[in-house]
Structure 1
Amino acid sequence: MIDRTPVSQAVARNIQSLIQRGEFPAGQRLPSQRILAEQLGVSRPSLREALMTLETLGLIHTYPGRGTFVVDHTSAPEAPDSSSWRYSERFAMQDVFEIRLLLEGQLARHAAQMATSEDIAVLIAATDAMEAAWARQDLIANVEEDLKFHRHVASKSRNPLLSQHYEQVAAYLAETQRQPIPFTAVNRMAESIAEHRAIIQALHTRDADAAEAAMHEHIRNTATCAGISI
């Protein structure tokens, strides 16, 4: 098997581990990108991508003119700022949540008609792994399993153009799934996992209406926690 994990993702995992082990404690300023890239033995473009991922996850925050700091989640959480996300110069986060609502709702309807028992097993495994990753505070793995869940639902469409469109906008959709909502809404992760299981149940019973409704509820609730109403 060939390891196809992007370098930036491996770097993000490495830095997350350093933060969790206390080598980069809460409130500490990270070394400059030049120094950190040298320390980790990676290119600066890969490091920058990793840092953007970690910032979206809420583990670090960059202050212009001051540097990048490890976020201290023991202090009062900040309200989500949907204007500061990575693609803000192209689209508002609300735009992407609206696309998710329209696209993923229909994809869930198709999946209710097309999903096999093997597909249901894949979705259960992804949700279980997502829950386990959150329990050990592996935010990167948590989001990877969340993305795997939604991408697998999308792959079961009977309309290949819908699945292709999902893949074309997947980077934007994924960024909304990396928002640090659990740090600002402490019960959200448990609710999100329960919503995944409701989607699975609807797919298992081949109830297209229930699958669409469950997916809509899941996306709307996530948007609400990000400060967005759709």
Structure 2
Amino acid sequence: MPSDSISPFERVDHEGLAQTIADQIEEMIVSGVLREGTRLPPERELALSMGVSRPKLREAIKQLEQAGLVTVRHGEGTFIADLIGAAMSPALTRLYSKHEAAFRDYLEFRREQECFAAALAAERATDEDCQTLRETVAELERTHDADDRTASMEADVRFHQTVVDASHNSLMVHTMRSIYALMRSHVFYNRDYLRAIDGTGQALLDQHRAIAEAILDAQPDTAAEAAARHIEYVAESFQVHHLRRRREIVASRRRLLLGLGDPF
């Protein structure tokens, strides 16, 4: 990579200090720039972009590996370690699918965190954050128009993570990333219940737009209110879907009994 190429890594002034190299990578992990599973650039490229020697870089990587922050896979490269892990075990996730109160707790937690994140994002979002947010909304619109359910789910998760990233609160960035991983399960993201009210998903798209617009307009209170309305709508949709499924089960059982000669 040419020395004048754009790189997220800064040049290190103190060639003799491997710790300075390690400190920069640690800061990028804490801030969420380097995420779990991210592959670091090849050694030569990374050393060049940071302006350090390859032996010093190797020394720094060794320190990070010993600290459990990176994983070196011979023949593949150096990767950021899994530092957060799963928010819930598969067994606990299955419990959430069976107990409404637990699922409501999940939404209650998301409501408070996402309101806070949206307000912070409206105050702190950089030009780059705003551009990423616009691109994510455009992706939500494209997947909605195409009625691509899988792509819509991925765009939905990216939207919420983008808002949290724009909050520039490192603890929230890491915590919510683990929470949003749950949205990819059928328990925590189900297009049937999300469309239970309007049938089309248009309301969800409009809610995402409202959150984004408030952030882009730097309106913290409005952003928090829009985030709250979104989660409340999700909770209402879940309830409508759940009650509808109960009625369908009762009706199905009633017809089955009639078919078996139930006198009533």
Which bracket does the TM-score occupy, shorter chain normalised?
0.5 to 0.7
C-alpha distance in 2 between matches for 1:117 and 1:133: 25
Match among 116, 119, 130 for residue 106 of structure 1: 116
Q: In the TM superposition, what is the alpha-carbon distance from 1:86 to its structure 2 partner?
A: 7.2
Matched residue SS, 1:186: coil
Alignment partner, residue 97 of structure 2: 88
2:130 pairs with 1:130: no
Alignment partner, residue 200 of structure 1: 212
Cα pair distance change 1:182/1:213, threshold 3 Å: closer
CA deviations 1:153-201 (Å, max 9, x no partner) are: 1112232112222123223345433342355333551111111111111
Q: In the TM superposition, what is the alpha-carbon distance from 1:140 to its structure 2 partner?
A: 0.3
Alignment partner, residue 215 of structure 1: 227
C-alpha distance in 1 between matches for 2:144 and 2:222: 27
Higher relative contact order, chain-length normalized (CA < 8 Å, sep 6+):
1
Given residue 133 of structure 1, which amino acid in structure 2 is its aligned partner?
A: T
Given residue 153 of structure 2, which amino acid in structure 1 is its aligned partner?
A: V
Alignment partner, residue 162 of structure 1: 172
Q: In the TM superposition, what is the alpha-carbon distance from 1:128 to its structure 2 partner?
A: 2.2
Cα pair distance change 1:161/1:113, threshold 3 Å: same
Q: Structure 2: 5+ residue runs without aligned partners? A: 1-92, 241-264
1:1-230 counterparts in 2 under 5 A? 87-88=96-97, 92-175=102-185, 176-187=188-199, 189-227=201-239
Q: In the TM superposition, what is the alpha-carbon distance from 1:216 to its structure 2 partner?
A: 0.5
Given residue 227 of structure 2, which amino acid in structure 1 is its aligned partner?
A: M
CA deviations 1:116-166 (Å, max 9, x no partner) are: 233222222222222221222210001111111000111122321122221
Matched residue SS, 2:167: coil
Larger radius of gyration: 2
- Report if aligned partners of 1:199, 1:215 keep a CA contact under 8 Å in 2: yes
Cα pair distance change 1:124/1:173, threshold 3 Å: same
- Report if aligned partners of 1:181, 1:188 keep a CA contact under 8 Å in 2: no
- Report if aligned partners of 1:147, 1:177 keep a CA contact under 8 Å in 2: no
Aligned residues with identical type, % of pairs? 26
Matched residue SS, 2:218: coil
Coordinate RMSD, CA, aligned: 2.8
Given residue 102 of structure 1, which amino acid in structure 2 is its aligned partner?
A: E
